[in-house]
Amino acid sequence: MKKILTGLQPSGELTLGSLIGGISQTVKLQNEYESYIFVPDMHAITVRQDPKLLRERIRKNVALYLAAGIDPSKNIIYIQSENLYHANLSWVLECTTYMGEASRMTQFKEKSSKKDNVTVGLFTYPILMASDILLYDADYVPVGGDQKQHVELARDIAERFNKTYGDTFKIPEPLIRDVGFRIMDLQNPSSKMSKSSENTKGIIFLLDDEKTIRKKIMSAVTDSEGKVYYDTKNKPGISNLLSIYAALNDISVEKAEEQFKDYNYGNLKKEVSDTVVRVLLDIQDKYNKLINSSEIDEILDRGREVTNEIAKKKVEEVFDKIGFGR
């Protein structure tokens, strides 16, 4: 069985966009692949984090992923910082990466141009990400489009190491997961629903209560035409509502369009609200049972144990090939 591996950033609160474009895709893949999912908490400190909040989010996100259908019997679930080998291998890979190629990373260029106190960690973070991937010989890495370049860097590093020291790492491939549904901001339907937007009126968070969800959808921006059909260019608001409905009911947009063709906007919004409320309340119900349970700890303990064993072997092989130690 081929192996997939993905990391889920513990920064920010998860949204309906993360559910439809991210989590649901991963849930589908778990049946076809041997699957590794981890929380890259060490990546989170490339920017300053509040320790209490960071720890809360790690657990919260694991609980939300489980509640949304990530099956612990089909996935190895673990926390990056509970496995010291990630940072160990990362050092070796830093010495396998050229300044030129690391400097080309678009995400670094964008993020560093907007900030004052840019850390060295923000610059080297794609190399830690390469380490996350190469430690486990992942075949495929499901990520959002913005991470494709980082997976390609991991490939280049792996190829270079293999050439120098002999076959050691599997060459991974990115699996881009936001090619299907792109969920837009309800107040500003020409931009993506993002957990980092400042105005939260257009964003549905997975833990929003029923009243808030309904209010946000009922006040979604639409247009003045009054007819329901899918046209992302001229009717981004209505198209977004149709996408949300279709994605959550696992039907095509065409089918949703057909179903709502005689509806007015108010009634469409009501139906979409009902669907979102149904899906999110179910997730929240499971989340509430999990968040303080020992089940999460058992899952993470097992993940720590399994991955430490695998990573130890890989790092020992690498150290041996390099000529470290006695």
The binder of ligand TRP chosen from 6, 75, 239, 240 (CB under 6 A): 6
Q: What is the smallest separation between the CB atom of 253 and ligand TRP, expressed in angstroms?
A: 26
Whole-Å CA distances, 44 to 7, 39, 55, 74, 292: 11, 9, 11, 26, 23
What binding mask, one character per residue, do residues 19-48 give for ligand AMP by CB under 6 A, x or -? -xxx--------------------------
The Cα 52–Cα 41 span in angstroms is: 13
Which of the choices ligand TRP, ligand AMP, none does residue 182 contact, using the CB cut-off of 5 to 8 A by kind? ligand AMP
Token digits of residue 260: 């709502």
Contact call for residue 41 and ligand TRP (CB under 6 A): no
Kindly identify the residues of this chain, within the stretch 73-132, that bind ligand TRP according to CB under 6 A: 129, 132
The Cα 58–Cα 50 span in angstroms is: 12
What binding mask, one character per residue, do residues 141-170 give for ligand TRP by CB under 6 A, x or -? x-x---x-----------------------
Residue nearest to ligand AMP (CB): 21
Q: In 255-274, which positions are buried (b, 16+ CB within 10 angstroms) versus exposed (e)?
A: ebbebbeeeebeebbebbbe
Which of the choices ligand TRP, ligand AMP, none does residue 141 contact, using the CB cut-off of 5 to 8 A by kind? ligand TRP
The Cα 276–Cα 193 span in angstroms is: 15
Residue 141 in contact with residue 177, Cβ under 8 Å?
no
Contact call for residue 5 and ligand TRP (CB under 6 A): yes
Catalytic residues: 111, 192, 195
In the chain, what's the furthest Cα-to-Cα distance?
Answer: 77
Mapping DSSP to helix (H, G, I), strand (E, B) and coil, where does residue 39 land?
Answer: strand
Q: What is the smallest separation between the CB atom of 11 and ligand TRP, expressed in angstroms?
A: 8
- DSSP assignment, residue 18? I
Contact call for residue 7 and ligand TRP (CB under 6 A): yes
Which residues have a Cβ under 8 Å from the Cβ of 161 and sit 6 or more positions away?
93, 96, 168, 169, 318
Measured from the CB atom, is 94 or 231 closer to ligand TRP? 94
Residues at the contact surface with ligand AMP, assessed by CB under 6 A: 9, 14, 17-18, 20-22, 143-144, 177-178, 181-183, 192-193, 195
Residues at the contact surface with ligand TRP, assessed by CB under 6 A: 5-7, 9, 40, 43, 129, 132-133, 141, 143, 147
